[in-house]
Structure 1
Amino acid sequence: MDLLPSRYKIHKTKLRWILTMMTMMMMMVMRRGESMRLDMESGNTKCISDDIKTNYMTVGTYSIVNPNEGHHLPPSHKLFVTVSSPKGKSHHHAENVESGKFVFTAEETGDYMTCFVAPGYRPTAKFAVDFEWKSGVEAKDWTTIAKRGQITMLEVEVRKLLDVTETIHEEMFQLIEREREMQELNRSTNSRMAALSLLSFVVTMSVAGLQLRHLKSFLERKKLL
């Protein structure tokens, strides 16, 4: 009768250790979400950029901090919010809002820009905005996925690791492609430098030859040769 509880404890210990190791691995390689608080003032604009890869999902939530809990926000506490791609495509636009959320999948790689504009107001008002921006694996709602698929948290952690592995795999290919592009650029630069050096040498020797010819002619006219 004592063996069953003992084995059960060992099983729980191993499971806890596995989850701990998986969590540490994910913390090291998984892209973390950015949570911040922005100090805004009427008439001012603040923009935040994030480098997002193609086909990465991104989720952002924002809300004005209520200085008086239990009361409505004053009319001065409003925001204009825009989210745009590196090429200027709009992915989110909101006017005179107190909070909001945007979700989209990146169609191109580059810096995506989120801008918060506090409209002009008199007298000038100051307020804070809580903003959280997640991309990649972190952007997925794993709790909803677990409930929908009726799977355990261990399976959720495994799926996270699989997604992280795929992300690392894609980034490795991108790094290899960038390295190939850099090598081609280096070869092209070296070829151009070699051609420029050769051209400089030819020009220098030509000028030296002309100078010698001119000096010889001068000395002959002066009957010094």
Structure 2
Amino acid sequence: MGRKKDGKMSAFRAEKFLVFMLFLFGMVLRAKGVWLEIPKSGIKCLFEDIRKSVVVMADYYVFWDEDYLNTNYTPRVSVKVTSPYGNAVHHQENVTHGQFAFTTSEDGSYMACFSTESSHDGGKAVTVGIEWKTGIAAKDWESVAKKEHVEGLELELRKLEGVVEAIRENLIYLKSRHEGSE
């Protein structure tokens, strides 16, 4: 009878642990969707403080509304992503969509700037949608699942393992920063 009770308790603890890990998983995944309205001849920039050796991925798309439907103009933007020390990580001119991916080489604020050309007709603002992912959120879990033939609960456990490792690395990083400031 004692064994049955212990089995229920360990199952209860495992369930609580799994719920806690899922909560952490949701907190650690960092994917941001942002919409920017860039005025004619304007520039808008996003900044994110990222530590060294973190994977960053982003997709961006230019959207236009009915103001552009009756024109021959398709709104386009130029994109430049730079590291904290000003090194160009990504650069594209005159595009309607694109993506970039890189692994950070320096600690600090990475900057992504979107600008429009002043020569377009109409003088309308351009809207850019950006999905920015860092760290574990940038990992392609579908490819992992196909490559390693995992699915369902096993895939979720792999994701949780990645989250736990990311948390561990963040704690080590924060501890080293704290010790360095003393």
Same fold (TM over 0.5): yes
Matching residue of 1:58: 56
The alpha carbon displacement at 1:158 in A equals 1.5
TM-score, normalised with respect to structure 1: 0.67
Q: CA RMSD in A?
A: 2.4
Question: Structure 1's 18 and 175: CA in aligned 2 closer, same or farther, altered over 3 A?
Answer: closer
How far, CA to CA, are the matches of 1:72 and 1:53 in structure 2? 46
Q: Please state which structure has a larger fraction of its residues in helix.
A: 1
Quick one: which amino acid aligns to residue 33 of structure 2?
S
8 Å contact from structure 2 (residues 73, 121) kept in 1:
no
Superposed CA deviations along residues 155-206 of structure 1, whole A, max 9, x for unmatched, are 22212222222222222222222222222xxxxxxxxxxxxxxxxxxxxxxx
Matching residue of 1:173: 172
Q: Report the secondary structure of 2:41's partner residue.
A: coil
Superposed CA deviations along residues 122-169 of structure 1, whole A, max 9, x for unmatched, are 431222111110000001111121122210132222122222222222
Quick one: which amino acid aligns to residue 124 of structure 2?
A
- Identity percentage of aligned residues: 32
Q: Report the secondary structure of 1:123's partner residue.
A: coil
1:113 to 2:111 alignment = yes
Quick one: which amino acid aligns to residue 147 of structure 1?
K
How far, CA to CA, are the matches of 1:72 and 1:112 in structure 2? 38
Quick one: which amino acid aligns to residue 152 of structure 1?
E
Quick one: which amino acid aligns to residue 37 of structure 1?
W
Which runs of at least 4 in structure 1 moved beyond 3 Å after TM superposition?
16-22, 71-74
8 Å contact from structure 1 (residues 77, 125) kept in 2:
no
Q: What aligned pairs does 1:136-215 form with structure 2 within 5 A after superposition?
A: 136-183=135-182
77, 80, 91: which one aligns with 1:79: 77
Question: Structure 1's 122 and 58: CA in aligned 2 closer, same or farther, altered over 3 A?
Answer: same
Q: Please state which structure has a larger fraction of its residues in strand.
A: 2
TM-score, normalised with respect to structure 2: 0.81
The alpha carbon displacement at 1:119 in A equals 0.9
Q: What aligned pairs does 1:21-60 form with structure 2 within 5 A after superposition?
A: 22-28=21-27, 30-60=28-58
Name which one, 1 or 2, has greater alpha-carbon Rg.
1
Q: Which runs of 5+ in 2 are unaligned?
A: 1-14
Q: Report the secondary structure of 1:33's partner residue.
A: strand
Quick one: which amino acid aligns to residue 58 of structure 2?
G
Question: Structure 1's 97 and 18: CA in aligned 2 closer, same or farther, altered over 3 A?
Answer: same
Q: Which runs of 5+ in 1 are unaligned?
A: 1-15, 184-225
Superposed CA deviations along residues 76-116 of structure 1, whole A, max 9, x for unmatched, are 51100011110111111111000000011111111110000
Quick one: which amino acid aligns to residue 135 of structure 1?
T
Matching residue of 1:201: none
Quick one: which amino acid aligns to residue 101 of structure 2?
V
Quick one: which amino acid aligns to residue 89 of structure 2?
H
How far, CA to CA, are the matches of 1:79 and 1:124 in structure 2? 14
Superposed CA deviations along residues 2-51 of structure 1, whole A, max 9, x for unmatched, are xxxxxxxxxxxxxx9987554323113x1421101111122000000111
